Structure 1
Amino acid sequence: MPDLWMPGAVRADVGDHAACDTQYPPKAIAHITWDKNATAAKPVDLVPFANLKSYFTGGGVGMAPHILWSPFTGEFTQFYPADSRSKSVVDLAGGTRTNRAGKVVIQIEALFFPYCRTPDGKVYAQLDDTPYKGWQQLQDWVTSWGVPQAWPMGRPTDFSPHRNEHVWETEGGWYAHAEVPENTHVDPGSWPEFIKAPTPPQKPVYEPFPGTSFFKAGHRSPIIAAMHKRLVAVGCNHYASSANADTWGPGDERSYAAWQRKLNYSGSAADGIPGPTSWGKLHVPNV
């Protein structure tokens, strides 16, 4: 089972846990705290993270999310376990229980408001401009709960509402507060893109040249066995037998010299010791 409490987050359990409506697909809801109003002409100092933490464990407990996140420092505080609903969206009687409509409905409040000013004097117009420290950690934890890395109603790029109750009820993924039914807020305005896992390096089709010193009498390797098969396949079979095909010996030198001559090498260039050019042309399969 995934971690109920996000690793690395400060736990500030406010209690009052309640189960989600698990017939709906898993979701995450993106918010910003928007605790001050500022403009480009009149930026306002960012509210300290500790102040918001105190708010959500005190007078604002009735609106507490799962996670309070500072995209400036990478700090996290968690108020509810992942499998409980939290209370950061409006939930009207008789409709979709918005705070619960999913196997999980993980709500994240990013500490941010447009044109906030950080202690170093920098002003940020939108969340996506911030360093969004900790985003990888947050994204991975949310994903571990089965929330798809997708925005069914579109990744937020402005403060326009886009709401569709059918999509909300039937598709899992990330939703802006501006996309949640029964709500009127238009945040978060923007959100970081998902960080994709690095693509593992592709194994080369052919075995890279292992170096001249590799080809010493008695050296055993599956690379030598693969070379042996290729030399036979290209008509350069000067082996006495196929025994010990993975061990470098006189048959390998004779056969490889035949390959070099086939490539129009002569004299010392056809001495039976592989070089990088002739090796590359032999196309020994990667082992």
Structure 2
Amino acid sequence: MADLWMPGADKHDIGDHAPTDGGPAKAIAHVTWDRNATKAKPQDLVPYANLRSYFCGGGRAVAPHVLWDPFTGHMAQFVPANSRSKSLVDTSGGTRTNRAGSVVLQIEALFFPYCQVDGKVYESLQDTPGRGWDELHAWVKSWEVPDTWPMGRPTAFTSHRDEKVWETNAGWYAHAHVPENDHTDPGTWFAFPKTKEHSGEGGEYEPFPGAAWFTIGRRSPVVARMHDRLVAVGCNQYQSTRDKDVIGSGDVASYQAWQRKCDFTGSAATWPPGKTTWDLLQVPKS
């Protein structure tokens, strides 16, 4: 059985445990964003000890499962894995955001854009050393959270939400993906560590084949897997599943719906696909 308390994390049990509702196992990626800095006016990172004390005290009502300092690798855990935590807004009715899975593991990375550590400024979380990520990922995965982002790996402080995808798909979600919430964090997140099954050239997802590849009538198993991902992220504009390995009008309409969901507009939200939205779609390799 997986560990209720992450090995190596400091245990600070705040009590107030409550069960989850069952369903697809999820992890939610947050950043603490406790100061507003800019490129012109960076600010020093808030000390890890301050946030740890906050979640043990006045911030108990919004504490995550794990507070993670990606600069040092320090971690503190406040509730066990099989309990809900309260880092998400949960309005009456609809999905119970903090409980919608066999686990809903909430990870708060100590970070805000343009934070300064030892004189160096960090614009995005992905720019930090990411110390402890491999261990954190392994613990989350031990709770059967798969290495996938059902709504796309975050690459910017933008939001797109789909309650059906949220309720039916296991995996990692950005706070920016969660229904009933309006946050846009974490902005970026780290790639999943390579495992034996995902150690080949190019990683686990299909690389962008280039815009010229997407010609009407092209037949490829990649097209079928793209079709399935567009349906999974709530952009189904298909009239039929017949010949789903052949690029047709349904692919064009569905992909353009995905581009709009990724906050692209105008000519940037028209066929053919571009690398940014293709990478966000995460079409799996065969």
- What TM-score comes out, normalization by structure 1 length? 0.68
Counterparts of 2:65 and 2:197, CA distance in 1: 31
Q: Aligned letter for 1:16?
A: D
How much does 1:40 deviate?
0.5
2:153 aligns with 155
How much does 1:95 deviate?
1.4
Unaligned runs of 5+ in 1: 202-287
Q: Aligned letter for 2:181?
A: N
SS at match of 2:166: helix
Q: Aligned letter for 1:94?
A: G
Counterparts of 1:138 and 1:199, CA distance in 2: 19
2:204 aligns with none
1:109 aligns with 108
Counterparts of 1:200 and 1:133, CA distance in 2: 21
Structure 2 residue 151 is matched with structure 1 residue 184: no
Counterparts of 2:69 and 2:153, CA distance in 1: 20
SS at match of 1:175: strand
1:51 aligns with 50
How much does 1:197 deviate?
1.9
Counterparts of 2:72 and 2:144, CA distance in 1: 26
1:100 aligns with 99
Aligned pairs for 1:183-202 (under 5 A) are 183-198=181-196
- What TM-score comes out, normalization by structure 2 length? 0.68
2:208 aligns with none
How much does 1:199 deviate?
7.0
Deviates more, 1:190-199 or 1:159-168: 190-199
Counterparts of 1:83 and 1:200, CA distance in 2: 28
Question: Number of paired residues?
Answer: 199
Aligned pairs for 1:126-275 (under 5 A) are 126-198=124-196
Deviations, residues 39-82 of structure 1 (Å, cap 9, x unaligned): 01000000000000010011111000000000000000000100
**CA distance change for structure 1 residues 35 and 171 in 2, over 3 Å: closer, same or farther?**
same
Counterparts of 1:7 and 1:200, CA distance in 2: 24
Deviations, residues 221-251 of structure 1 (Å, cap 9, x unaligned): xxxxxxxxxxxxxxxxxxxxxxxxxxxxxxx
Q: Aligned letter for 1:168?
A: W
Q: Aligned letter for 1:157?
A: T
How much does 1:200 deviate?
11
Q: Which has the larger radius of gyration?
A: 1
2:16 aligns with 16
SS at match of 2:107: strand
SS at match of 2:67: strand
Aligned pairs for 1:85-96 (under 5 A) are 85-96=84-95
Unaligned runs of 5+ in 2: 200-286
**CA distance change for structure 1 residues 74 and 169 in 2, over 3 Å: closer, same or farther?**
same
**CA distance change for structure 1 residues 122 and 167 in 2, over 3 Å: closer, same or farther?**
same
SS at match of 2:98: coil
How much does 1:145 deviate?
0.1
Counterparts of 2:176 and 2:47, CA distance in 1: 25
Q: Aligned letter for 2:157?
A: F
2:64 aligns with 65
SS at match of 2:28: strand
